[in-house]
């Protein structure tokens, strides 16, 4: 045994290893719950027409300007021929489902049990409501069937959804699709930080990555970005599920 190996062995003898306070044997059976949730989601969403996922805060009130903006954007997405997918709860999610519903289009809700978001908003087609236990399964459903992502003002959950989608696109794990931030006053500071710190100071992203996150306040521009992406002169992007499992 070398001196380094001897020292490591001696350290191991004198080190008190941490132990689990609790570990449940039935955790391995959780996989069956996960599989069932995935199957339910695929069975429903795989039969639907192409959709656009709209993210945003559950805490946004109807009198908030972004609530009405999300409603208008969702309605225009319906007019463009897409359905709308949201998290199924209140706030921005309700606003987007409302816009789709009132426009006579496909309105899908991927609900999840949370302390302040435990109900479906009333603007979802009853046969298009999915109930999720696991966040990561819900994200699979959001991402696989969405042909664009519209991100309205929100909190940690919205940021989580936004950056996961950007990461998947950046690493070519899903097809490149439009990701549009709605709300200049809300998102401009974040994008400037990304430019100043992530790009210029730390060099942790490429400059071309900034093209992935346009910002606008105009519902018509949102639709124009999506339309140009699929119907532009080069016609290089097709409408299809974002990845195969």
pLDDT in tens, the chain (245 residues): 676 665 666 666 666 777 777 766 667 778 888 999 999 999 999 999 999 999 999 999 999 999 999 999 999 999 999 999 999 999 999 999 999 999 999 999 999 877 665 578 999 999 999 999 999 999 999 999 899 999 999 999 999 999 999 999 999 999 899 999 999 999 999 999 999 999 999 999 999 999 999 999 999 999 999 999 998 766 677 888 776 66
Between helix 156-170 and helix 135-144 the angle, nearest 10°, is 50
CB 52 within 8 A of CB 148: yes
| Per-residue model confidence (pLDDT) at position 240 | 81
Strands (DSSP E) contained in 20-165 are 51-55, 83-86, 107-112, 129-132, 146-151
Structural domains in the chain, CATH included, are: 32-225 (3.40.50.450)
Per-residue pLDDT, 58: 93
Could you tell me the two tokens for 134? 């696991």
Cα–Cα distance measured from residue 2 to residue 37, given in angstroms and rounded to the nearest whole number: 52
Cβ atoms of 55 and 74 closer than 8 Å? no
- What pLDDT was estimated at residue 55? 98
Report d(CA 67, CA 152) in Å as an integer: 9
Instruction: Provide the pLDDT for residue 125.
Output: 92
Q: Which helix (H) or strand (E) holds 182?
A: strand 179-182
Q: Looking at residue 30, what is its pLDDT? A: 83
DSSP, collapsed to helix, strand or coil, labels residue 187 as helix
What is the predicted pLDDT for the residue at 113? Answer: 78
pLDDT of residue 241: 77
């Amino acid at each position: 045994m070398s001196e380094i190996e001897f020292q490591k062995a001696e350290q191991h003898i004198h080190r008190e290893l941490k132990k689990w306070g609790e570990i449940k044997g039935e955790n391995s059976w959780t996989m069956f719950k996960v599989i069932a949730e995935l199957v339910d989601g695929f069975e429903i969403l795989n039969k639907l027409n192409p959709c656009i996922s709209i993210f945003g805060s559950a805490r946004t009130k109807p009198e908030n300007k972004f609530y009405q903006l999300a409603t208008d954007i969702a309605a225009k997405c319906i007019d463009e021929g897409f359905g709308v997918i949201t998290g199924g709860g209140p706030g921005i999610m309700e606003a987007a489902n409302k816009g789709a519903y009132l426009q006579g289009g496909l309105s899908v809700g991927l609900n999840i049990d949370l302390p302040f978001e435990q109900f479906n908003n009333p603007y979802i087609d009853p046969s298009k409501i999915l109930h999720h236990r696991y966040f990561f399964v819900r994200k699979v459903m959001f991402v696989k069937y969405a042909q664009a992502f519209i991100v309205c003002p929100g909190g940690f959950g919205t940021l989580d959804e936004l950056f996961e989608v950007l990461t998947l696109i950046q690493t070519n794990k899903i097809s490149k699709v439009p990701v549009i931030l709605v709300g200049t006053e809300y998102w401009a500071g974040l994008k400037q930080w990304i430019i100043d710190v992530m790009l210029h100071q730390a060099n942790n992203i490429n400059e071309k990555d900034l093209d992935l996150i346009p910002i606008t306040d105009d519902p018509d521009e949102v639709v124009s970005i999506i339309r140009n992406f699929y119907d532009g002169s080069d016609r290089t992007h097709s409408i299809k599920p974002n990845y195969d499992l």
